[in-house]
Amino acid sequence: MPTYIPEPFRIKMVEPIHLIEPAARAAALKAAGYNIFGLRAEDIFIDYLTDSGTGAMSHHQWAAMMAADESYAGARSYYRLKAVMDDIFGFKNFVPTHQGRAAENILANLLVQPGQYIPSNMHFDTTEGNLRARGGRPTNLIRAEAYDPQARVDFKGDMDIAKLRAFIEETGVANIPLGMITITNNAGGGQPVSMANLRAVSAVYKEYGIPFIIDACRFAENAYFIKLREPGYADKTPIEIAREMFSLADGATMSAKKDGIVNIGGFLAVNNDDLFQRIRNELILREGFPTYGGLAGRDLDAMAVGFMEALDERYLEYRLAQTAYLGESLLEAGIPIIEPPGAHAIYMDAKALFPHIPQTELPGQALAAALYLEGGIRAAELGTVAFGYTDPDTGKEILPALDLVRMAIPRRVYTQSHLDYTVEVLKRIAAKRASYHGYRITYQPRLMRHFTAQFEPL
């Protein structure tokens, strides 16, 4: 039996959730064009669509929001956030942004020219979308084991350093305006990146003079994996590990909706002063003055408190154990997942669960639909719909190596019984797997199609 660590908090505010009737679920899904993004949230029982902005804030965060300063420029809230930013991330400059993709947009707009390449372990969809929107070519250079769902390695999010070096040599430094890494690697199972790998990536980028930007969405969870798994870090605190990680980079983009445990917020941080001047000007044009960046003062205060709470060891111990509990319980039930479990989500291997559905018929979409129909559960397809694309050079349709369905666990929201219910629903689906069919796309936009695509069952 996988073990469950009791929540290191108790509940003092509740929000009712309901499981609507099977016929109502079928009607709701059809009306949404079989895209789970199109469902009304009130028609969902357990929502694993994302861990982004869906966390429960603490009483300290709510109290800080009440004491916020809503001045347009130079608010106390900004300086409280700045003190925390300096303490954890330590970059010379930062601006708040309304969320992660706003930071990505500014960075891509300022640095990326059409035809240029941007290496990373794996880019997440919004990063990829923002880079492609400027004509950039996001390139994933993750270690090979990441594509083997059953490979149990400690740091499955690590970049392949030999591949990175060869890639830079082939592509030429002039064609690489920046290099990135995503911690943890959301597009590949929420797997952590080791400090050793961050150090090696940093050294290679430095050697070639390529600015190194960390996508820091889940930095606290990554830091705790380093503490648990990497030799030499067992006695360090998560904040010490975080400081070391960011000392290796030239900047970071962050969606604070993850490890800031806020409903909205993010930042863009860089050491380079000239680049920062341009960032500020761009921010003023699109987001707001540099001391609020499209957020209210109260959002800045919630972030400042949230970053520190996300680094609390008791919280992180429970957080990683909760996700592992769901993952190990599914494995016991014979449901294939990406192993080992990551920090923020469990990724089911839809091709392995539904081997009778060819990848072109979207097994991940079929599993996401099945979860809702069978149990009122919402989970996100991160497979052929999310990551399939047309190659700009050849015009060929490229299918991703994995067809995954992600159950992202909102922070401090669901309990053990919600996870047990989820396992029961998946057992029922697995027991009648042969009865499920694939899907066909009837509408799709050019970029990030999974959010608004429409489907038809086959």
The binding site for ligand F0G (CB under 6 A) comprises 50, 52, 99-101, 124, 126-127, 182, 186, 215, 217, 255, 257, 266, 408
**Between 345 and 357, whose beta carbon lies closer to ligand F0G?**
345
Neighbour-count burial for 408-445, b at 16+ CB within 10 Å, e otherwise: bbbbbebeeebbebbbebbeebbeeeeebebbebeeee
Q: Between residues 266 and 342, which has the closer beta carbon with respect to ligand F0G?
A: 266
Residue nearest to ligand F0G (CB): 100
Closest CB to ligand F0G among residues 348, 357 = 348
- The minimum distance between CB 104 and ligand F0G, in angstroms, equals 7
Instruction: Please give the Cα distance from 116 to 172 (Å, whole number).
Output: 10
Say if CB 365 and CB 436 are below 8 A apart: no
| Residue whose CB is less far from ligand F0G, 185 or 291 | 185
Task: Give residues with Cβ within 8 angstroms of 276, minimum separation 6.
Answer: 92, 93, 270
> To the nearest whole angstrom, how small is the minimum distance from the Cβ of residue 98 to ligand F0G?
8
In whole angstroms, the minimum distance from the beta carbon of 48 to ligand F0G comes to 10
- In the complex, minimum distance from the CB of residue 440 to ligand F0G, in angstroms, rounded to a whole number: 25
Minimum CB distance to ligand F0G, residue 422 (Å): 17
8 A C-beta contact, residue 326 and residue 341: yes
Q: Which is nearer to ligand F0G, 251 or 438 (CB)?
A: 251
Question: What DSSP letter does each residue of 329-371 carry, written as one string?
Answer: HHHHTT--B-SS--SSEEEEEHHHH-TTS-GGG-HHHHHHHHH
Kindly tell me which of 252 and 357 has the beta carbon lying closer to ligand F0G: 252
Sorted by sequence, the CB contacts under 8 Å of residue 310 that are 6+ apart come out as: 220, 259, 260, 261, 316, 411
Nearest distance in Å: CB 393, ligand F0G: 26
Bridge partner list, 440:
456
| Min CB(172)–ligand F0G separation in Å | 27
- Report in angstroms how near the CB of residue 187 gets to ligand F0G at its nearest: 7
| 3-state DSSP assignment of residue 266 | strand
Q: CB-side exposure of 405: number of CA atoms within 13 Å?
A: 26
Instruction: Select 383 or 438, whichever has its Cβ closest to ligand F0G.
Output: 383
Residue 92: alpha-carbon gap to chain centroid: 25
Residues 6+ positions from 345 with CB-CB distance below 8 Å: 48, 51, 186, 189, 190, 323, 406, 407, 408, 409
d(CA 396, CA 402): 18
Q: Which is nearer to ligand F0G, 190 or 438 (CB)?
A: 190
